[in-house]
A = this chain, B = another copy of it.
Amino acid sequence: MGHVGRQTIIFEKQPVILETYSTVGPKEGQGPMGGCFHEVLEDELLGEKTWEKAEGMMIKRTVQGLLNKSGKKPEDVDYILCGDLENQINSTQMAIKDFNIPFFGLYGACSTMGESMSLGAILIGSGYAKHVITGASSHNCTAEKQFRYPMEYGGQRPLTQQWTVTGSGYVLLGESGAGPKIHSITTGKVVDFETKDVFNMGAVMAPAAADTILAHLKETNQKPEDYDAIITGDLGQCGTDILLDLTAKLGTDISKVHQDCGLLIFDNEAQDTHSGGSGCGCSASVFAGHFYKALKDKKLKKVLLVPTGALMSLCSTQQGENITGIAHAVSICAE
């Protein structure tokens, strides 16, 4: 119990995931997971003048939806920990100010949901907080214009590329009550596989996912089969292939229990999303919308959620730097 191995905390007093809320864009609403989300937005702009304000509005609606669904007021919540993909987590900061909750801003690229749930679990598990909200969000238009090309340019997308999800997922953690529980967390290290291709995020994140998953299994003395699902964030098809290869070569076959939120959220053929979904809103919304319900209904007894991030900026890309990866694992058991 407590800190075990190099990267893992096993909680003696397990934080409860009391409630979740997910909001996604129209394209995500039309995908295979469409029926799972709590709210599907009518369009990408939501009547706002900019995509950044629209992302902020989506975050606000998600946090407010979570508060309403759980019957809580902002003053019942001790901390909020969250982030997005924008420079200086712009939309998150715009959105959070209205709730007047003590705020820790995070940046973990697409691993942010794992990072926020980990730090939230630490706050609850330690007894320092009774209720904590954690979450992450991404918006296709704010991310694409920032990391790649102006949206109006309509650039061709290589087949390795993924589609940044417009979506937001937030969870309410509590010290007691009914709901799935966080058993343990394994915190990722920055992993550099010397990748430079901004159109192949799966290749960047897969080695980080392998590193964290294998560390988690070793440090908690578990096998892949101890989990009903090991759920990576947004590796997409290319990244998933690499992850399964890598882990198999390192002696652990996770293929029977592996799922990837980036492959679940879109129908890659029908929706023209190439390698799959990405963005920190991908694992956040798919966990909050789909997996949380499966855990509550006991269709899944135990899952390992592993949001995966590619650490890059437009500046580092233009300067020819490597894109590094990171992944944070959260082990969750049905009640």
Measured CB to CB, the closest approach of chain B to A147, in angstroms, equals: 9
Partner of A108, one of B9, B105, B130: B105
For A131-142 the 0/1 string (1 means CB < 8 A from B) is 000000000000
Q: How many copies does the complex hold?
A: 2
A88-105 with Cβ < 8 A to chain B: 88-90, 93-94, 96-97, 100-105
A87 CB-CB contact with B under 8 Å: yes
For A91-129 the 0/1 string (1 means CB < 8 A from B) is 001101100111111111100000100110011011111
Contact between chains at B78 and A3 (CB < 8 Å): yes
A321 CB-CB contact with B under 8 Å: yes
A58 CB-CB contact with B under 8 Å: no
List, in ascending order, chain B residues with CB within 8 A of A118's CB: 104
A127 to B126 Cα, complex, angstroms: 8
Measured CB to CB, the closest approach of chain B to A209, in angstroms, equals: 15
Contact between chains at B107 and A83 (CB < 8 Å): yes
A188 CB-CB contact with B under 8 Å: yes
Contact between chains at B101 and A189 (CB < 8 Å): yes
A314 CB-CB contact with B under 8 Å: yes
List, in ascending order, chain B residues with CB within 8 A of A188's CB: 102-103
Taking A3-B130, A6-B102, A126-B127 as known contacts, 18 extra A-B pairs with beta carbons closer than 8 A to each other, sorted by chain A number, are A9-B128, A53-B321, A86-B313, A87-B87, A87-B314, A88-B109, A88-B311, A102-B188, A103-B187, A103-B189, A104-B106, A104-B108, A104-B115, A105-B107, A122-B122, A122-B128, A125-B128, A126-B126
Q: Provide 22 A-B residue pairs closer than 8 Å at the C-beta atoms, listed in order of the A residue.
A: A3-B128, A7-B102, A50-B319, A52-B319, A52-B321, A85-B88, A87-B87, A87-B88, A88-B107, A88-B313, A93-B311, A96-B190, A97-B189, A97-B191, A97-B192, A101-B189, A103-B187, A103-B188, A103-B190, A105-B108, A105-B326, A106-B106
A-B pairs, top 8 by smallest CB distance, nearest first, are A126-B126, A97-B190, A102-B187, A88-B313, A87-B87, A93-B311, A87-B313, A107-B107
